Structure 1
Amino acid sequence: MRIQGDLRIDEVKKILKRELAAWRRLSHTNIVSLLGTTTGFGPLEGMVSPWMKNGSLHVYLGTKKDAPQSKRRLWVEDIAKGLKYLHGDLTSLNVLIDDDEKAVLTDFGLSVILGGYTNLSVTYTDAKTGSLVWAAPELLLDPTCTKGPDPSPPSDVYSFACLMYMIFTGFHLWNLTGTNDWIQWSIVSRIKNGERPTNPGTIDTQYWNLIEQCWAQSPSSRPEIRDVLLRLGNMTSVQT
């Protein structure tokens, strides 16, 4: 974890130690477990988790372009199950594929744990384009703002919809070309204006309807993840 500016490091260490102890006790098949911590990588302890040789969902989809729809539907359910257990800031890079080809979530809860420390947490205002792709409208601020809202269950549901789109199509929402600054401005502008991609014709109608509801512009219009999971279960049973 990077530290910028002046920060009461002793206070942060105390809070981080307490929160990581709680995280270590978490147990869920779709959450990467925290094995412990290590030192020597900066002023704060580093976190140690099991190694996932298949890497992130983002990388794995690039090597498994012919993955069957049945496998993709299971990944969607895996992510939803992990989200129901623990929320955080969701992107394709903190979804890993384990040795059994199951989707598991990692780096989860850090933005919530460290949300009170602007110099420590990574916010969407200074994030790279890769993070902006998944950001809900309410998390996108004007450049003059220094600290925005922390990710919430509704914002994770929005990000989940974006992941569903990528899992079923193999593409990000915004395949833009140009300079990095222009791409970031364009993505923020489109998300804030309520623009979303159309169904390319490869996503089943039931799943597409769910995607549209999950990436609704207003957080209060998005379904809760427990309801999303119920609907996914019903869809899977019909498909099989």
Structure 2
Amino acid sequence: MPLIHVILRVWQSLLRMNKKKDHVNAPYPMRNLTSKIQNAKLIGGTSSANVYKAVISTATTSKQVAVKSLRIEIFGNIVQSETQEILIRVNAWMTSLEHDNILTPIGFAYGFGPLPSIVYDWMPGGTLTSYLAQNSDSLTILKRFYLIKQIAAGLRHLHYKNVIHKNLHGNNVLIDAAGIAHLADYDVTPAHRGQHIPPSVRWAAQEFFDIQYVVPPTTQSDIYSFGSLSYQILTGREPYYEIRHKSKVSIEISKGNKPSRSYDPPIAERHWEFIQKCWSVPERRPTAAQLLELVSREVELLTT
């Protein structure tokens, strides 16, 4: 499950075990930012969470932040053994997953729902999808490959730490004020239960749509999604952009049909081959480390 779900499930269990409300007694260094948050405004949300834009103010500085509040109705009971497993995973995440291209919480806050909410640095560039739409005329091929390289670097770090993102798509990559990409809403739990078809099917790996087998998320399925993100960055369009309804996209994927090659704007032959490698059968897909090396060489080539 995405990181915010994991942390808040832990909090729910801790609160159920009568922990003090003003202190989260867990083995990770989350700061209580409640008293510092001002001017919070609801700016959006999903079926499972609300997102607020706010300001953190101290005696000397202030900065914008995002506050993500999970909706309580998605919670279920957690047995203590599972809670301890999640605590261990969250602690590992907090101490080892920090990276320039991974979005990590800066603290938590009360007052946005029945449970503590997670606070992140504000990403003024918005999602990758909106960023590409707003900056299509100014993004050169080199700038686009910088974005691809940053996403590859974040994904390599996740995989190095044995974390599978599981739902990598254009709205789970956020852009900061400097135009740097950050992976968000990744999964820090090892468990997999049942069929996994991500809600953003346009970027999802083809093997998830096999009706005969239940296929769990893998590092290889992340690589497929990375190829779809690369397609989106190079074309400025979401995969299967010509197909309006998600249900029809699912049908195309289940048939083995990949996104069509763009000629306006054009995708260079070597770039198209790179994307095709990501979309090949799982065992033939490159690793995130190999992708980062390949993309880094392309950036060097484009700068000479």
Range of TM-score over shorter length: 0.7 to 0.9
Displacement after TM superposition at 1:12 (Å): 5.3
Q: Could you tell me which residue of structure 1 aligns to residue 231 of structure 2?
A: 165
CA contact (8 A) 1:134 1:159 kept: yes
2-structure distance, mates of 1:117, 1:37:
28
CA contact (8 A) 1:124 1:139 kept: yes
Question: What is the aligned counterpart of 1:23 among 76, 79, 93?
Answer: 93
Displacement after TM superposition at 1:62 (Å): 1.1
1:80 is paired with a residue of what secondary structure?
helix
1:81 is paired with a residue of what secondary structure?
helix
1-structure distance, mates of 2:260, 2:175:
28
2-structure distance, mates of 1:158, 1:116:
19
- 1:57 and 2:128 matched: yes
1-structure distance, mates of 2:197, 2:119:
25
Long gaps (5+) in structure 2: 6-47, 49-72, 159-163
Deviations 1:39-93 (A, max 9, x none): 5556665332211111111111111111111110100000000000013021111
Q: Matches of residues 53-202 of structure 1 in structure 2 within 5 Å?
A: 53-66=124-137, 67-86=139-158, 87-88=164-165, 89-108=167-186, 110=187, 112-113=188-189, 115-116=191-192, 123-124=196-197, 127=199, 131-140=200-209, 142=211, 149-176=215-242, 183-201=245-263, 202=266
- Could you tell me which amino acid in structure 2 is paired with residue 18 of structure 1? I
1-structure distance, mates of 2:116, 2:192:
18
Displacement after TM superposition at 1:140 (Å): 2.8
Displacement after TM superposition at 1:197 (Å): 2.8
2-structure distance, mates of 1:115, 1:31:
21
Change (3 A) 1:101 1:221: same
Displacement after TM superposition at 1:199 (Å): 2.5
1-structure distance, mates of 2:84, 2:257:
43
- Could you tell me which amino acid in structure 2 is paired with residue 85 of structure 1? H
Question: What is the aligned counterpart of 1:223 among 286, 293, 296?
Answer: 286
2-structure distance, mates of 1:212, 1:116:
27
The count of residues paired between Structure 1 and Structure 2 equals: 223
State the percentage of identical aligned residues: 30
1:113 is paired with a residue of what secondary structure?
coil
- 1:211 and 2:291 matched: no
1-structure distance, mates of 2:130, 2:228:
16
Deviations 1:106-161 (A, max 9, x none): 112x2x4174467xxx9426x3xxx011110122354x99xx54422100110011
Greater gyration radius: 2
2-structure distance, mates of 1:13, 1:117:
17
Runs of at least 4 residues off by over 6 Å: none
2:121 is paired with a residue of what secondary structure?
coil
Q: Which has the higher strand share?
A: 2
Change (3 A) 1:73 1:6: closer
TM-score computed with the length of structure 1 as normaliser: 0.81
CA contact (8 A) 1:115 1:150 kept: no
Q: Could you tell me which residue of structure 1 aligns to residue 67 of structure 2?
A: none
1:71 is paired with a residue of what secondary structure?
helix
